[in-house]
Structure 1
């Protein structure tokens, strides 16, 4: 993680902020803060403060929950989507290099199989 964080790809966004942008980019609809908290490795208070900062920077917007007017849902703004895609493309290249270089082709195929299995299990566990 330190190696990834040290790479000059983040455009003034921290890895943890990018993690929030990435999580929101993968969800089909806006999330409540508690739902978003299931996707990131942050405490709820830290995530709440981070979301406030990302809203101030225009990367996330808050909307009233149509089913519960007291609740708020979070989604990426257009700038947030563009930022996530720009950083994400560069980060994906870094991750691919970090994984592919030390692994053989057979190990890469096994890793892909295992990742698909885990992703499939996550989809079954997610309501």
Structure 2
């Protein structure tokens, strides 16, 4: 689909075209990143779980909390976490003060793999984004996407 130069006919149409452009750009970049060397040992959605757990201040999250921060359905996430646990990358621990609750956390191997992939992933992102957008454009895109996310009501 070619880039549009004429303004959209209505605010609704402009919003739809903006969303489609943002979504297609994200998909194109993700496809390129997924095919890169950073993800030879772990799929992007598996890395997303490790990355999310690595950014959690307590180092532990309930499955539903993890689900709020990754791009998978709850049932898909449960199966993915099972696979990561079998590989020794995450572990389940009982939640304090909650007999039925379970917390997920990275194992040492999971934390090390996340760091290793993360270093390569960041370099791959810079190699894609850097030539396409100036530093000022990157800051503006960051500002706009954060503004969009902040405008959404909490679930």
Mapped pair 1:15 → 2:61:
no
Where has structure 1 moved over 2 Å in runs of 4 or more? 108-119
TM-score (norm. length: structure 1): 0.86
CA distance, structure 1, for counterparts of residue 134 and residue 41 of structure 2: 35
Per-residue Cα deviation, 1:70-93 (whole angstroms, up to 9, x for no partner): 110000000000000000010011
Deviation at 1:112, TM superposition (A): 4.7
The answer to whether the 8 Å contact 1:11/1:87 transfers is no
- Structure 2: gaps spanning 5 or more residues: 1-29
What 5-or-longer segments of structure 1 have no aligned partner? none
Q: CA separation in 2, counterparts of 1:41 and 1:109?
A: 24
Q: Decide which structure has the larger Cα Rg and report it.
A: 2
SS at match of 1:101: helix
Q: Which gives a bigger RCO, structure 1 or 2 (Cα 8 Å, sep 6+)? A: 1
Equivalent in 97, 104, 107 of residue 67 of structure 1: 97
Change (3 A) 1:72 1:115: same
Q: What is the alpha-carbon root mean square deviation over aligned residues? A: 2.1
